[in-house]
Amino acid sequence: MKHPLFDAYVEACNYPGRLDESAVEESLSQYLAALGMKREIVRIRQGWTLDALPSLKKTVNLILADFQKRSGYKPAMAAMDARAAMDARAAMAAMDAMAARAARDAMAARDAMAARAAMDARAAMAAMAAMAAMAAMAARDAMDARDARALQRFAQWCIQGRGWYWYRWEISWLATTAFGADQLKNSTVAAWSNPLLDAYLAGCWILYWTDDTLYWLAKPTVHIEQSDGQRRLHNESYAALESDGKNLYFWHGVLVPAFVVVRPDWITIDHIRKEDNAEVRRVMIERMGWDRFCAEAKLKVIHTDTLTARFPTLPVSETVHADMRAVTSYREGTEVAELLESEEFKDFDGLPLKFVRITDPSTGEKYTLRAWPNNTRAYETIGQTFGMSEKDYKQQVYTHS
């Protein structure tokens, strides 16, 4: 039999949804009481700082010490007390062990697994999974810089970055333990999982434990686009995941620095050169604009060709399928086309990036098109933008001359 709050749970997976702060904190109080734990309950709000949350600041410093010991990383500044971090971690593990065991037992129920993380909740977890990959980098930055801004950034990763091994729970999945407890008639687990489900329905998203405080974050606002039947994070003007913990910016599903979305004019060749992630490099080039990228990246010309004729205006966008592009006007003169290759920047297969730069004979303005890595001739690429071979493209141009 379906749990009476199952439908409400599914609706609560549309973020941000309802937020009743007092109801969240009352439910979390019941949750702690059922676990036999005492914690102050504190909401993390937009604009928070570590100095204003001393228990969180202490824990984040201990995590850094733990990271240093586990990774063997040697920061430029003096090392922190890694032993204290391990002691704190062990103490917190003992306190939370009961909850973790109970969760594993009840989550085995079929209804609990079927309910897990639907709709916007799934997208939010995907955002955190993307963010988690940067946790080690954030830790090293915090240890090397040893300033408030670096430590604040690392704290944001700790709280919101999925996969960090300390005590942060995204509760869209943990709340479904209540369904399993109901199905299994497990009153012990129901005693703490029902209040947790209530907290989720009232707007709670993330729980973060320290030795004396249970911090919580409200559900974020999630911006999604549909592409080929898939939902992916994307926002053309601001964060795709607007959160009190940390805003995350995605461009067609790729996690990128904020300025790539909101200030693409700030992107430089040096930004692209220093970016390790190939997907992010691709987005940076796209947002920078191929014309500006080719002008600043000092690409090598590997083939030049000209065409004297009345030829069709280039398509407005390569995202329009070749079969759907209509030629609406023709230009007369001698067009110069250059196939450019980058010796420094690579595509996804590790091959040099290639572009075709076309000089308009009437205005002298230059236009840039992406080329396939296997293109060796300039008009081979231009023909492909119209869904033609080089020979067929030139023949059509001459036919209209």
**For the segment 125-176, what is each residue's pLDDT rounded down to a tens digit?**
778 877 766 666 666 666 665 677 888 888 888 888 754 455 678 888 888 8
Average of per-residue pLDDT across 36-60? 94
| Pairwise pLDDT comparison (326 vs 349), residue with the higher score | 349
What pLDDT does 122 receive? 77
pLDDT tier, 339 (very low <50, low <70, confident <90, very high otherwise): very high
| Pairwise pLDDT comparison (304 vs 63), residue with the higher score | 304
What pLDDT does 237 receive? 93
Residues 6+ apart with CB under 8 A from 90: none
What pLDDT does 1 receive? 72
pLDDT tier, 51 (very low <50, low <70, confident <90, very high otherwise): very high
pTM for the predicted model, two decimal places: 0.71
Tens of pLDDT, residues 238-247: 999 999 999 9
Any idea which of 58-72, 130-144, 340-354 has the lowest mean pLDDT?
130-144
pLDDT tier, 27 (very low <50, low <70, confident <90, very high otherwise): very high
Give 394-397 contacts, CB < 8 A, sequence gap 24+.
394/307, 396/312, 397/307, 397/309, 397/310, 397/311, 397/312
pLDDT tier, 75 (very low <50, low <70, confident <90, very high otherwise): low
pLDDT tier, 86 (very low <50, low <70, confident <90, very high otherwise): very low
Residue pointed to by tokens 């670096």: 150
Average pLDDT, the chain: 79
- The yes-or-no verdict on residue 115 having pLDDT over 60 is no
